[in-house]
Amino acid sequence: MFYDWTGRIDEAAKGKRIHQVVENTHINEVVHAEDRAFGIVGFESDEGVRRNKGRMGAKEAPNQIRKMMGSIPYHSSKENLIDVGNVTCDDGDLEIAQVKLAESVAQLIEKNHTPIILGGGHETFFGHYLGVRKALGADKKIGLVNLDAHLDMRLDEQPSSGTMFRQILETDANTNYLCIGLQELGNTEQLFATAKEHDVTYIMEEDLEPLEETYATIDKFASEHDVIIYTICSDVINQAHAPGVSAPAPFGIHPNTVRLVTEHVITQDNFISFDISEVNPSLDIEEQTSRLASYIVSEVLSGLNHKGKPPHSRFKKEELK
């Protein structure tokens, strides 16, 4: 079922808002795009969060983020945005739902659309990755870039929102993992040991600045892979700005830092796809977190539409503190 996009309309005004541009399109009816185009797909699931003993409600996020996005201006002269609807996980069969998400992601890539995936718990990322791998084949080197307070490399036998990166690294030798914004108090010694075992590159929250060093790490990581795929776990953001998440972060990073890091990742030449996960509308305060997520997604679209031009988001260093 498709989301009914609505929003403000400015009569006789130049330019359009997102709800006026996006076109609901069945995944099997997506046509090949000659120029850069984007495909939104939602993942209505918090089964992975349930298995990880987190706070439920993330499955409500895809449509809530769409609601917040509707009236945001779309900064492109092209109407190059489609929405292929939601993949749902209502029966507890997370693995099947992740495969279905992968099918949508793969078809979007094959039709020259950049997938923009709205989670869902962070188990969203495993389906995201599976789709990229399916589209590219087994031989391409995929760099996994995760903006997150947590490593998500638990040793639990049952897959969840906390196991995805270990699952991928254990089964796919052509992948590597960069985690940005990691918090010591959000990860056990076992998680750090697992990261070391798999040669994970990570940047701690307190080491993000100076951002030039973070950018250099991202550049080096991207240069070592055929493509990079990017995921934001919303619990990386300071709780004051993102209260509606499964695992709030009192020491999380500022939204402006999220914007700058995100801009740097998505403008890499080999960036291919993006997801945002772990927004939980049922725990939110006056739609604060879902609104923030909607602006992050909209800036990704704007940044990709303006790739190669001067970026919109530039902040003085003192504003990030």
**pLDDT single digits (tens) 3-62:** 999 999 987 678 899 999 999 999 999 999 999 899 999 999 999 999 999 999 999 999
CB neighbour class for 90 (10 Å; exposed up to 12, middle 13-18, buried from 19): exposed
Query: Rounded to the nearest 5 degrees, what angle is found at the Cα of 283, between the Cα atoms of 279 and 287?
Result: 70
The Cα–Cα gap between 217 and 125 comes to: 22
61-69 and 288-305 helices, crossing angle to 10°: 60
Buried b (16+ CB within 10 A) or exposed e, 225-243: bebbbbbbbbbbbbbebbb
The Cα–Cα gap between 11 and 218 comes to: 43
pLDDT reading at 314 higher than 60: no
pLDDT reading at 317 higher than 70: no
pLDDT reading at 312 higher than 70: no
Q: Give the CATH architecture of domain 16-307.
A: 3-Layer(aba) Sandwich (3.40)
**Model's pTM, two decimal places?**
0.94
The Cα–Cα gap between 235 and 243 comes to: 8
DSSP classification of residue 70? T
Mean pLDDT across the stretch 265-286? 97
Mean pLDDT across the stretch 117-128? 98
Domain residue spans in the chain?
A: 16-307
pLDDT reading at 315 higher than 70: no
The Cα–Cα gap between 135 and 144 comes to: 16
